Structure 1
Amino acid sequence: MTVIPLTDDWTVTAITGPAPEGVRGRGIPAVVPGTVHLDLLRAGLIDEPFDGANEDAQQWIGDVDWRFETTFRWTPDGSERQQLVAEGLDTLATVVLNGVEIGRTENQHRSYRFDIGAALVDGENALRIDIAAPVPAAHARSEEHGARPHVNHHPYNALRKMASSFGWDWGIDVAGAGIWKPIRVESWSTARIASVRPLVDVDGTTGVLDAHVEIERGDGVEAAALRVEVEIAGTTADVEVPAGRSAARVRVDVADAELWWPRGHGAQPLYDVAVRLPGLDEWHGRVGFRTVHVDVAPDEQGSPFAVHVNGRLIQIRGANWIPDHAFTTEVGRDRYARRIADATEANMNLLRVWGGGIYESDDFYDLCDEQGVLVWQDFLLACAAYAEEEWLAREIEAEAREAITRLSPHPSLVIWNGNNENIVGYADWGWRHRLEGRTWGEGYYFRLFPRLVAELDGTRFYSPGSPYSFSRFLSPNLDTYGTVHIWDVWNTKDYAAYREWTPRFVAEFGFQGPPAWTTLTEAVHDAPLEPHGHEMLVHQKAHEGNVKLERGYGPHLPAPATIDDWHWATQLNQAAAVRFGIAHFRSLAPYNTGTIVWQLNDDWPVISWAAVDFAERRKPLWYALKAVYEPRLVTVQPRDGALAAVLLDDADEPWSGDLVVRRLSLAGEVRARVRLAAEVAARGATTVPLPEEVASGGAGEVLVVEAPGFARAVHDFAEVVDQPLDARPLEVEAERADGTVRVRVRARAYARDVFLLADRGHPAAVVDSGLVTLLPGEEHVFTVSGVPDDVAPDVFADALVLRHAGDLRS
């Protein structure tokens, strides 16, 4: 096979639509893979899209038809077939080679392969790809085929383009155009490997590889027999593909195979697989041997959603994943690796790839394979009703087939999910009336997708949607059945209302907070800076988002007097809300089998639910998640009108010992103390009622529970707003040591949720720990890296850098 990559010498030109003078008709250098927004930015024709209020000023880009052009040299080499392979065109493209139209596309989420032999010439060839304006196209298709409900302001559900590129309640509206994945010319003869599905099973101690191989044959060789070889772990098996056939199935057994486990449960051995058409083509990938089962069988309490890998129940501690950049071509393996490290270092074991984004690149899934991070993958239908007529159904089936096939090697992928919130939208959000009998996606979720998963990869679990109660006769969002999304708390209630829910599995819930100070102020330039400034609200996409932030901290924190305090209070409240919710949900184990917080990451600098902001700075929420997702956790929870310590032991070893429980004054005086014997099984939970003498306290007291091998639990009897906290409880020293700055804090009085906003000391600074609560007399050292030598250590002791809950009272 001969391959000509088409990466160089591209231009992009605005050919129709409201392009401004200086852009219309002008050939602009283009990067492929890439997107037109970034080409315009590199050419100096637009300002930074994420800055200030530029989003609105650049809406014209999505209303313009764009032409991408390049030339390449080709010389005949005797190959029988010549094909143009476009792995990703965004989105409505007409492909023209040497003046001959060779194909059209209408789906960002799939690849295309066009035969181009009749249009190629020996020597210089001219390739043109015209991409229609996505925003008017989406509106036109919606009008033509019947408007259907959707969130946000564009009918993204009428076009197979990344939904969030049209804007979301955390996302910028940058619907554009581009050649967003590699494009190339391939020349080959006789046959090539079209696809491989290397499905795995485990039979006792034997790993079973069942390789399904699809073959594309060249012109004139349909009658020839072929041989397919599959090699794994030093063992090779082969089969003959008879004349006229184009598919093969090869089984290879691997004796004494090592099992692939989720992180925290074992190792992640991966086996290289080679599939060959000898002398013609090869495919290489990796697999991990493991089994997957999700238990949703009805029980006396409803029905669970319990993920089992290799027969073992996995308590899920996860996060939802959105595209990590609004311009997805800017995310490479290194950025993926840093985000997945954000997950694993916060004790997560699952990422849910949300349905309004993309099927991520193989780098994402490869890294999850290596790190033992389970993947729940949505099909790409989110928060909308979707037509089931042929014009859209053919594309949805094609993309689903390709995605299932491409992702089949990855052991980390354990769940396919039919959609995000579309079933609950139809059932509970009033869509049925608005649709007036039009199709809405039911056929995809209950017929097409389960059929495709069964046909192409029966080794994974399929869920029709999220949330879902696993019965067509129940509301989709019942907390006693299956998966739930909990959004009433963020939208209308105090975060204490998380305790009103007793969910079997939480697939979405979250609370907002702003990004790091530097991330925010590098993009928002209101003068003065204030929560309801024009540019601030450009970077707050949730409906009445900043109003909800204020309502959210009201019962918990003093009203902030400055923008600095507003920023700290809303970040702190976000962390406290999610910490509160997860501690409650986890305390319900084994009835509750998992939580997936919304969300891990951001795709631009924005006020959002993310734990890590777009500039890759970890918010206080991230540190809260790390603590509350500890495999071994002690949490104090109300039980039967009193308090109890709930011990969760998500480890292979049981635990037994004594709990030391103290009720202390904020000055450190011991008011009561008990020692309680306890034990908890491996991968188990136990509840220890606390005697009234320690469990009844006032606003000026705290409850402390300590158990060897567990992080200490501190329970506050009052909210910060009602707690007589010392506004200045810390003695602080900052000094340089071993290339870092070490900030030592010592508590003179109780210090709640001490946090170092490292970027306010220096934009490049990163701190190792956060949300540390200190009892009187205790010390903690924050280690800050990334600080240039010319920055004085004392900046990290500044009152706007080193914060704690009590300083909001000053």
Structure 2
Amino acid sequence: MNKSILFSFLFVQNILFAQFSERNLSSEKWQFKNAKENKWLTASVPGTVHLDLMNNKIIPDPYQDENEKKVQWVENEDWDYQTSFKLSSKELANQNIDLVFNGSDTFSEIYLNGKLLQSTDNMFRKWTIPVKQNLKIGENILQVKFKSAVNVGKELAKRVPFTTPESPRSYVRKAQYQFGWDWGPRLVTAGIWKNVQLNFWNQAKFENVKIEQKALTRQKADLNIHAEIFAEKEGKYSFLINKISQNITLKSGKNLISIPYQIQNPKLWQPNGWGDPNLYQLKILLQKDSKTIAEKSERIGLRTVELIQEKDEKGKSFYFKVNGNPMYAKGTNWIPSDSFTPRITKAKYQKLIKDSKEANMNMIRVWGGGIYEDDEFFKACDENGILVWQDFMFAGSFYPSDGNFQKNVELEVKDQIEKLQNHPSLALWCGNNEVDEAIVNWGYQKQFKYSKEDSLQVWKDYKKIFHEVIPNAIKKYATNDKQIYWPSSPSIGWGHQESLTEGDSHYWGVWWGEQPFEIYNEKVPRFASEYGFQGMPTLETTKSMFSGAPDLSLQNGTIKAHEKHSRGWEIIDNYMKRDYHIPTDFVKYNYVSQLLQARGMQIAIEAHRRAKPYNMGTLYWQLNDCWPVVSWSSIDYLGNWKALHYQIKRSFENQVILTEEKDEVLNFYAVNDELKKFEDVSLIVYAKKFNGDTIVRRRTDCKKRCLDGILKLASPKTSFFISESERDNSFLNLILVDKKGNKIAESNYFFSKSKDLKLTKPTIQIKKISPTEIEVSTDVLAKDVYLMGDTHFSDNFFDLLPKTSKRIKLSKPLEKVEVMSLFDTMN
């Protein structure tokens, strides 16, 4: 070999081995078929078998009509997927090539060029397979054979000597909601639900990088950068953090290194409502002979989060302290926003989180029956100051604890810690949703006639997984010993008194217990992590339930099929007749059902916030939907705000003025959740008739500082000169002002339920200010003004006071805005 050829060869090798690179195999031409059949059909990756069947017109859209029941056969079949791809000699010349499945749902066998490489059994794990020796120049064939998760689950269930509730889903490490829930369809999928790629690397690669915050002061942040590096050969390397270099020596094989790093005068990541969620970009490089061979980018936030549980005279506190300050948690519960998760776009993640921020939330609980959400979800939470309570994916059943299951769970936890730990939004890991509750309170042992030994085994399995395997895995794989772990949500079931005096609570006396909304005033927990009430989706989303012309009738089979709770309509009607007139017109019924839902949650949230600091968190069930459905959500499947979300935005304002009527006394609570305390405030209360006439005006000045973010004032109800007979046509308008007269908060208080109000017909006028702004005005009280049209209104379902107007912004222009108010439902 002459010198010029040798130089050229070395130069090419140097370039070739200089970089880590990826090749996305998801973009190749994929096919799929029923394992029983021979005909291959076109497929998409990422995807699911249901989507592929729909695209090939084999099954109808299960979201429409009553089609869900027509596609149940899919879950019992086995499905094969395959693609071919060409590999160049240059690609094969890399020292190492890994085949990476970021998500395979669920039981599958992966073949490359006819050789079985990997069997998978967990939808939530990442599968990395070295494949250089199995690849060839030219065409390569990749096949994935999926077994029915239902059938495999049934076989696994047979190994247990007793019946497990909702078997076989608890034996399958897969999104539990796919098996059907009281807000979601049964669509048990299979498929390659995340990207598949080839990773080419030379000399060394990052297995993962974890950022540990050791200490945080106003002057500096002390970090440790923990990197797991796999090196081909022992040698000297350079490790760079934002261009700051440090020499390291790596041995052949796996290396664990920790490099200290400082940030001077750090800007804190603050939750929404407290300041900016400041973020820092860390670019981490591994170099050999001044050439970059591996790199990672991490975006971090500097903050502290603590869960405070201290005994007091009433029980034990439960609240989050963020950056050294007690934070009142205001937020919601999150479910997957589609039953077919590959359809959840980055834009949908961003919109739902921004809608949460706009509604003044600072925390979201990711519910344990769904999925560990995409990076885009956490990116959006990081950027918008939303803390995440992260459940592990176990929900409302009994789970096994055999050796294989334990190991599978441990590796699932490992993958999720490596994926999520660096996000500043991550506040807490929770073992499960309602598994403790299911064992203790739901009577399954009696229902399935368990022996004493069976019951003891269930509790033993529970303790093994949620008190040993998961917390031990967190300690093993997380770099920060301050990672917060909470074994089960709720910690105590809602029928027990202790559920209100310690821990977190799922209070379902409303809805499931059919207690009146007013019971929320009595059943106030330390931290409400779940409670809710159903309401219909918007008319646009209701119409999307139909493949053809919509038949908007409560008796229509399609409408009925999109209410998954067996007694849902009955419960809604029972509550509606307590507070409203039940309309016979569908559009008006839809409107009132949304008002009903909003009213129930308003009562709950106000009861929680009035109890501050005894109660320090309220997370309603639920933010979003996975398909068009009547549900507990505040934002429907198509992303439209229901009346509830508009009310949540008002109820979660940092400063609110709330009213409580008790023993003929009106108690007024000024609540402040900002870090800055308010003092020298005045409460101005107007007692008014619905026609706008003022009965009396009262002003109360309070010079003292507002302690614990809450100030209580009281007045006898008779001091407002509203007689018993006039309460149906009178209300209070409350305004909280500072010492300069600037308005801090405003609210209205009605003495009677909506159905008892003696409303007069308002003349509501809409004036166009610009293509995307209108002004709404009225002559008399217009209760619960409902603006209708194919646009997003900046406010809706609001009370418009007599002889006042309100400016509303539109997300896009409308030719005409239709309007309705509560008066229209009372005649």
Both structures adopt the same fold (TM-score exceeding 0.5): yes
CA drift of 1:432 comes to: 5.1
User: Secondary structure, in 3 states, of the residue corresponding to 1:599?
Assistant: coil
- Is the contact made by 1:201 and 1:289 (CA closer than 8 Å) also made in structure 2? no
Normalization by structure 1: what TM-score? 0.92
Aligned to 1:443: 464
Aligned to 1:761: none
CA drift of 1:206 comes to: 1.7
CA drift of 1:330 comes to: 1.2
Tell me the distance in 1 between the aligned counterparts of 2:638 and 2:614.
Answer: 37
CA drift of 1:256 comes to: 1.9
Give, as a single letter, the amino acid of the residue that structure 1 aligns with 2:826. R
Stretch deviating more after TM superposition (451-460 or 176-185)? 451-460
Give, as a single letter, the amino acid of the residue that structure 2 aligns with 1:124. E
1:674 aligns with 2:698: yes
Give, as a single letter, the amino acid of the residue that structure 2 aligns with 1:756. L
CA offsets, 1:728-777, max 9 Å, x none? 21332354x4323625231x32222212133xxxxx32212112212322
User: Secondary structure, in 3 states, of the residue corresponding to 2:685?
Assistant: strand
After superposition, residues 608-647 of structure 1 pair within 5 angstroms as 608-639=631-662, 642-647=665-670
Match of 1:701 among 730, 734, 740: 730
- Is the contact made by 1:734 and 1:742 (CA closer than 8 Å) also made in structure 2? yes
CA drift of 1:150 comes to: 3.9
Give, as a single letter, the amino acid of the residue that structure 2 aligns with 1:482. G
After superposition, residues 160-309 of structure 1 pair within 5 angstroms as 160-204=173-217, 205-218=219-232, 221=233, 224-225=234-235, 227=237, 229-232=239-242, 235-237=244-246, 239-242=248-251, 246-279=255-288, 280-309=293-322
User: Secondary structure, in 3 states, of the residue corresponding to 1:730?
Assistant: coil
- Is the contact made by 1:202 and 1:291 (CA closer than 8 Å) also made in structure 2? no
CA offsets, 1:99-139, max 9 Å, x none? 11011101110100112233222221111101112222223
Give, as a single letter, the amino acid of the residue that structure 2 aligns with 1:518. E
- Is the contact made by 1:558 and 1:809 (CA closer than 8 Å) also made in structure 2? yes
Q: Runs of 5+ in structure 1 lacking a partner?
A: 18-23, 759-763
Q: Structure 1 residues 265 and 372, CA, compared in 2 at 3 Å: closer, same or farther?
A: same
1:766 aligns with 2:804: no
Aligned to 1:43: 56
- Is the contact made by 1:226 and 1:242 (CA closer than 8 Å) also made in structure 2? no
- Is the contact made by 2:543 and 2:550 (CA closer than 8 Å) also made in structure 1? no
- Is the contact made by 1:197 and 1:406 (CA closer than 8 Å) also made in structure 2? no
CA drift of 1:637 comes to: 1.2
Q: Structure 1 residues 476 and 33, CA, compared in 2 at 3 Å: closer, same or farther?
A: farther
CA drift of 1:228 comes to: 5.9
CA drift of 1:683 comes to: 6.2
User: Secondary structure, in 3 states, of the residue corresponding to 1:49?
Assistant: coil
- Is the contact made by 1:228 and 1:241 (CA closer than 8 Å) also made in structure 2? no
Q: Structure 1 residues 803 and 389, CA, compared in 2 at 3 Å: closer, same or farther?
A: same
1:3 aligns with 2:22: yes
User: Secondary structure, in 3 states, of the residue corresponding to 2:158?
Assistant: helix
After superposition, residues 770-789 of structure 1 pair within 5 angstroms as 770-787=796-813
Stretch deviating more after TM superposition (458-467 or 510-519)? 458-467
User: Secondary structure, in 3 states, of the residue corresponding to 2:417?
Assistant: helix
After superposition, residues 575-594 of structure 1 pair within 5 angstroms as 575-594=598-617
CA drift of 1:230 comes to: 4.5
Aligned to 2:766: 733
Give, as a single letter, the amino acid of the residue that structure 1 aligns with 2:823. G
User: Secondary structure, in 3 states, of the residue corresponding to 1:655?
Assistant: coil
Tell me the distance in 1 between the aligned counterparts of 2:497 and 2:657.
Answer: 32
Aligned to 2:143: 128
1:689 aligns with 2:714: yes
Q: Structure 1 residues 527 and 276, CA, compared in 2 at 3 Å: closer, same or farther?
A: closer
Q: Structure 1 residues 398 and 692, CA, compared in 2 at 3 Å: closer, same or farther?
A: same
Match of 1:552 among 575, 579, 590: 575
Tell me the distance in 2 between the aligned counterparts of 1:230 and 1:449.
Answer: 33
User: Secondary structure, in 3 states, of the residue corresponding to 2:511?
Assistant: helix
CA drift of 1:2 comes to: 4.1
Q: Structure 1 residues 268 and 527, CA, compared in 2 at 3 Å: closer, same or farther?
A: closer
Match of 1:486 among 494, 498, 507: 507
CA drift of 1:497 comes to: 1.4
Identity of aligned residues (%): 28
CA offsets, 1:634-686, max 9 Å, x none? 01013565221100112224232221112222233333332111255376111
Aligned to 2:625: 602
CA offsets, 1:676-726, max 9 Å, x none? 112553761111012333466522221221112333221111001112112
User: Secondary structure, in 3 states, of the residue corresponding to 2:316?
Assistant: coil
CA drift of 1:245 comes to: 5.3
- Is the contact made by 1:226 and 1:277 (CA closer than 8 Å) also made in structure 2? no
User: Secondary structure, in 3 states, of the residue corresponding to 1:668?
Assistant: coil
CA offsets, 1:384-405, max 9 Å, x none? 1111112322211111111012
Aligned to 1:809: 826
- Is the contact made by 1:12 and 1:66 (CA closer than 8 Å) also made in structure 2? no
Give, as a single letter, the amino acid of the residue that structure 1 aligns with 2:612. A
Give, as a single letter, the amino acid of the residue that structure 2 aligns with 1:181. K
- Is the contact made by 2:689 and 2:731 (CA closer than 8 Å) also made in structure 1? yes
CA drift of 1:244 comes to: 5.8
CA drift of 1:148 comes to: 5.3
Q: Structure 1 residues 259 and 734, CA, compared in 2 at 3 Å: closer, same or farther?
A: closer
Aligned to 2:538: 516
User: Secondary structure, in 3 states, of the residue corresponding to 1:89?
Assistant: coil
Aligned to 1:21: none
- Is the contact made by 1:514 and 1:570 (CA closer than 8 Å) also made in structure 2? yes
Tell me the distance in 2 between the aligned counterparts of 1:546 and 1:268.
Answer: 42
- Is the contact made by 2:272 and 2:360 (CA closer than 8 Å) also made in structure 1? no
CA drift of 1:585 comes to: 0.7
Tell me the distance in 2 between the aligned counterparts of 1:526 and 1:158.
Answer: 42
- Is the contact made by 1:263 and 1:372 (CA closer than 8 Å) also made in structure 2? yes
User: Secondary structure, in 3 states, of the residue corresponding to 1:548?
Assistant: helix
1:530 aligns with 2:530: no
Q: Runs of 5+ in structure 2 lacking a partner?
A: 1-19, 738-742
Aligned to 1:343: 356
Aligned to 1:744: 776
Give, as a single letter, the amino acid of the residue that structure 2 aligns with 1:502. V
Tell me the distance in 2 between the aligned counterparts of 1:53 and 1:560.
Answer: 25
CA drift of 1:34 comes to: 1.3
CA offsets, 1:288-339, max 9 Å, x none? 1111111012222111111011111111111111111111111122111111
Aligned to 2:34: 15
- The count of residues paired between Structure 1 and Structure 2 equals 777
User: Secondary structure, in 3 states, of the residue corresponding to 1:503?
Assistant: coil
Q: Structure 1 residues 227 and 527, CA, compared in 2 at 3 Å: closer, same or farther?
A: closer
Q: Structure 1 residues 403 and 238, CA, compared in 2 at 3 Å: closer, same or farther?
A: farther
Tell me the distance in 2 between the aligned counterparts of 1:422 and 1:82.
Answer: 41
- Is the contact made by 1:526 and 1:533 (CA closer than 8 Å) also made in structure 2? no
CA drift of 1:242 comes to: 4.6
Match of 1:102 among 114, 117, 120: 117
User: Secondary structure, in 3 states, of the residue corresponding to 1:260?
Assistant: coil
Q: Structure 1 residues 227 and 740, CA, compared in 2 at 3 Å: closer, same or farther?
A: same
Alpha-carbon RMSD: 2.3
Match of 1:539 among 551, 559, 562: 562
CA drift of 1:475 comes to: 5.6
1:158 aligns with 2:171: yes
Give, as a single letter, the amino acid of the residue that structure 2 aligns with 1:441. Y
Tell me the distance in 2 between the aligned counterparts of 1:741 and 1:211.
Answer: 50
CA drift of 1:430 comes to: 2.3
Match of 1:718 among 752, 756, 767: 752
